[in-house]
Amino acid sequence: MSDKHTAAPSGSKISIHTLHAKKTRGEPITFLTAYDFPTAAALDRAGIDGILVGDSLGMVVLGYENTLPVTMQDMLHHCRAVSRGASRAHLVGDMPFMSYQASTAEALRNAGSLLQKGGMDAVKLEGGRERAQVIRAIIAAGIPVMGHLGLTPQSVHKLSGWKVQGKSPEAARAIIEDALILEDAGCYALVVESIPVEVAELITKRLDIPVIGIGAGIGCDGQILVTHDLLGLFDRFTPSFVKKYADLFSSMQRAFSQYIEDVKARRFPGAEHAHTMDSQAYRRLVQEIDMPGDSADRDEDSTTQYH
Ligand code: KIV
């Protein structure tokens, strides 16, 4: 019996060409984040176009205040898990803070690692014109780069918090100029985060490459959210632009409470959750170990029924 919710979508691997063709056709592009094997597998089977192993994992998986403490080791660990879970979706690995800012050589090595060791198809990094040179170098090495403009979480202190960007004409113009510079540098796609709908629409119309929005309105070529926000799995805060499709944190807490109550009340494990010995083998065992007071004939009234 086929189940439309679990059957893997047919079709080949989503490539950069597929994403560009979707933009040309005006077909919305779907992205979500994942950090582990089962989530990647579920997203892949649901038919997502792209999975970002975002450095948001620092907050929603590792419990940091922001994304700044995330390391290349963290990213590689989670990228590998995601790449084992997804075979069809386009996979993007986030370059963590200070993995591409110090030198081009280091940026190249780290970007290469995300593909070579992490199993990613592309990398994403934050910033505009100030990153054009390093982006060109990474692309020249054969590594596709997705840009990220607007609210760039690795600059949270420079931006004085998690604020909508590009609200004044000057700020909006700087973001639009940066978007054009990133496209010219060779980025194959661009994420725009927390910018006004109007600015996101202008960028989407101006650029030939797909523009993926998060908190940037409906006018983008595609959308991305942090999966833990969409699932209601991150209880610290939920940005206003998130639509919650589930409340998994509450569901998990309810399930854990029920388990704790069951164990305390000896309702779990039941007979159906336990392994048993053949009764003859059990009798022989009791005789052999000659345990005084341990009857080979089990008490029929016992609450633990083995056979
Ligand atoms: O790290 C991340 O999850 C991201 C998305 C918010 C785009 O960069």
Q: Is the bond preceding 269 in cis, omega lying within 30 degrees of 0?
A: yes
Closest CA to ligand 1's atom 5? 54
| 8 Å CB contact between 179 and 82 | no
- Binding pocket residue ranges, ligand 1, CB within 6 Å: 33, 52, 54-56, 94, 148, 191, 193, 214, 224, 226
- Of all protein residues, whose CA lies closest to atom 6 belonging to ligand 1? 226
Q: Which residue's CA lies nearest to atom 8 of ligand 1?
A: 54
Distance, C-alpha 193 to centroid of its chain: 16
Q: Which atom of ligand 1 is nearest to the CA of 212?
A: 7
CA–CA distance, 288 with 87 (Å, rounded to integer): 54
Query: Does residue 130 carry a catalytic annotation?
Result: no
Rounded to the nearest angstrom, the distance between the alpha carbon of 54 and the centre of ligand 1 is: 5
Percent of the chain with pLDDT over 70: 91
Which of the listed residues 33, 62, 68, 92 should we mutate to test ligand 1's pocket, taking the one with most ligand atoms within 8 A of CB? 33
Tell me the CATH class for 16-230. Answer: alpha beta
Q: Which ligand 1 atom is the nearest neighbour of the CA of 226?
A: 3
Please give the span between the terminal C-alpha atoms of the chain, in angstroms, as a whole number: 34
C-alpha pair distances (Å), 115 with each of 93, 95, 112, 161, 183: 8, 11, 5, 31, 21
For position 237, what pLDDT does the model report?
A: 85
Tens of pLDDT, residues 109-134: 999 999 999 999 999 999 999 999 99
pLDDT tens digits, one per residue of 144-198:
999 999 999 999 999 999 999 999 999 999 999 999 999 999 999 999 999 999 9
Residue 9: pLDDT over 60: no
Q: Could you tell me where in the chain the CATH 3.20.20.60 domains are found?
A: 16-230
* Tens-digit pLDDT profile for residues 217-234: 999 999 999 999 999 999
Residue 302 has pLDDT above 50, yes or no: no
| Residue of 183, 193, 201, 288 marked active site | 193
